[in-house]
Every structure is written in structure tokens, then in C-alpha cells.
Amino acid sequence: MTELKIAIIAGSTRPGRHSRTVADWVLGRAAGRSGVRCGIVDLTDHPLPLFDEAMPPSFGQYQKAHTKAWAATIAPYDGFVFVSPEYNHSTSAALKNALDYLYAEWQNKAAALVGYGSLGGARAVEHLRLICAELQMATVRQQLSFSLFTDFENFTTFAPAARHDDAAATMFTQLENWAGVLKTLRA
């Protein structure tokens, strides 16, 4: 099988965000894994207005240049790690909007979920599971949850506990297994 391509999506665009720092840490945990190439997709590099296409994404009739560019960015990947803050008991509006823009580009691909917040981003992750299911992505069981109280110094500097390393390894193993099976299905 060819090499798997995994996008680690930094799912917040607000000033002072932690998603890029967390995404970079996740990318570091993927280093050296065989048969997989991971990269960061930062939503700040893909400014999407609130969904503004005339047709539903499931029709695949993208008209706007920003939608076509976003589709071209996402389509080549076999799986995703969504890194999300928890805002108001859910994921960020920027990540939800980015997911809503596309359909076929997400279908039959695997997803892993990483949350952070006062309760480890647990509610954001649960909402993302529902969104991913509707987009026909297979989410893996292992998730990473980082607490603002224990994994960030003074709520600002990301300093995750060592126990997260093993959880990250399990998450990547599950993600790669599902991404490989689904890549075969898409072929």
C-alpha cells in the first residue's frame, strides 16, 4: 500500500489560540512512524467566510475560489487529526465552518480527535464525533484530552503530562489502521 497522508488540522483561528501549539505537539508524536506522512493544516492559512456556497456541499458543485482551494487542500489526505478547543461546550466555529464547506473530500476517511479546554475538550470532541459521522468519516476510539488546568502552565504554556505520549501512539495506530482500510475502500 502507498504511504498514508494524514492532516493534523489546527482548529482555531482566534488570537492567542493554543490549537497550533497542540497540533505541533501531535505532529511531533507522529515523527518516525512508518508508512505515514503527517502535516499541519492550519485554518488561519485558509480563511473561509461563513459558508457561502449556493449549493449544498454534497452536490460537489463548488463555485467560490476559496471553496475550491479548500477542497484541493483536503482531498489528497487519507485521514485527519482534528485539534479543537472547547468553546461553549462545543468545537470552534472556524472548525465547524471548515468541515461544513466540503463533503466528498471528507467521505470514507478516518479521523482522530484531540481536544483541549477546562474539561479537556471532551464536549468539543463529542460534537466532532457527530459531525464526522454525518460526513461519513470513521472516528477512532482513542482521543487526546488536554486540560487547561494540568497540561498548560498558567493556562498559557502547553506542557502536557508524559502520560499523553502513550495515548498519542495508540491514537495514531488506530488512525493509520482505519485510514489504510478506507483508502483501499476508496480505491
Q: What is the pTM of this model?
A: 0.96
> Residue 27: which pLDDT band, with cuts at 50, 70 and 90?
very high
Give the contacts of 2 (CB within 8 A, at least 6 positions apart): 183
State the cell numbers at 23: 497540533
Q: What is the pLDDT of residues 118-177, one digit of tens each?
A: 999 999 999 999 999 999 999 999 999 999 999 999 999 999 999 999 999 999 999 999
What is the DSSP code (8-state) at residue 3?
Answer: P
Structural domains of the chain, with CATH: 4-186 (3.40.50.360)
